[in-house]
Amino acid sequence: MIRIAFKRSVTPMRESLLLRRIIAHWQAYLFLVPAVLYFAIFHYGPMYGIQIAFRNFNATAGIWGSPWVGLAHFERLFLSPLFVNILQNTVLLSVLNLLIGFPIPILFAILLNQISRPRLKKAIQTISFAPFFVSIVVVVAIMFVFTYLQTGVINIIIDILGGDRIHFFGRAEWFRPLFIISEVWQRTGWDSIIYIAALVSISPELHEAAMADGASKLRRIIHIDIPSIIPTVVVMFVLRAGQLMSLGFEKAFLMQTPLNLETSEIIATYVFRMGVRQGQFSFAASAGLFNSVVNLTLILLVNQICRKLSGKGLW
C-alpha cells in the first residue's frame, strides 16, 4: 500500500515539473507545434481509414456507412493462390536488398574517409550523391536504354564478347538483380552521409595515438573507425529492417512487364492493381494493413535483438 501511494504521489510531481519546464521554455516548445500538427493531421488523422480493411467499402455510403465484414478480406487474402508468391517475392527482394544494399554505404563511407585530398574527396561525394536526386522514372528509363535487346550498350558488349543477347526486362530471373543494382547505385552516396558524419566526429587523438604506436590504416579502421560507428549502424539497421516489406512501389511498378510478373509482383504493386485498377478498395486496404503490421513487428523484433546483442537500439 505504501509503494502504491508513493507511485501515485510521484506521478503528479513529474507532471508538474514537466508543466513548469514547458512554461519556462515555451519558446523552444513552440517550434514543436508545426511538427506535431503535421504528424497529427497527415499521419495519425488518416488512420481512421484503416477500418476500410474490415468493411465492404462503398464510396457512396462512405466509410462509416459501409457494412462491417470483420476479417473476411484478410481470409480472402491469405487463401488467395497468388498470396504465397507475392509474399515470397516481397520478402526475398527485401532481404536481398537489405543484405547487399545496407553494408555498401558503410564501406563506401569508410573508404571515402581515408582519402586525404579534400578536392578529390568532395568530387567523389558529389558524384555519389547525384544519383539519389534522379527521378525513378528516369532511372528505369536509363535501365531500359542500357539493356535494350538490339541497341542497348550492355547487350552490345555481350555480343562483342561472343555471348547471346539477353532480354533483361523480359526474363523474370533478371528483375531482382536489376532492381538491387539500381538501388545500390542510386542510394549508396546518400545513405553514406550519416556514416561519414559519424566518422568525422571521431576524435583525431585516437588516430594520432594509434599512429604513434605504429598502427596501419587497416588496423585503425578495424579498431577505431568501425567500433566508433557501431551505434549509428545499429540505429540505421533497425530503421531499415522496419521498412523491410516497404519496397519502392514506383520502381517495381515501372520495371514490371507481363514477362517478368512472376518475380516482380510484390505487395505494393498488388495493392495498386487490386485497389486502383480493379476498384477492390477494402481488399487492397487489407493487404496494405498486413504489410504495415509486418513492418511494425519487424522493427520491434529487430530493435529488441540489437539491444540484447550490442546494448544499442533505436529506443
The model's pLDDT over 218-270, given as tens digits with 9 standing for 90+, comes to 888 888 899 889 888 888 888 888 777 777 788 989 999 888 889 999 988 88
Distance CA 269, CA 273 (A): 6
Residue 140's pLDDT is 93
pLDDT exceeds cutoff 50 at 58:
yes
pLDDT in tens, 77-101: 899 888 889 989 998 998 899 899 9
Percent of the chain at pLDDT > 70 equals: 94
Where are the domains positioned within the chain?
Answer: 79-136+170-310
- At 1, the pLDDT band (50, 70, 90 cuts) reads very low
Return the CATH fold of 79-136+170-310.
Answer: MetI-like fold (1.10.3720)
Query: What is the model's pLDDT at position 4?
Result: 47
Whether 180 has a pLDDT exceeding 90, the answer reads: yes
Average pLDDT of the segment spanning 145-163: 90
Give the pLDDT confidence of 274-305 residue by residue, as tens digits: 888 888 889 888 888 888 888 888 888 887 88
How far is the first Cα of the chain from the last one, in angstroms, to the nearest whole number? 32
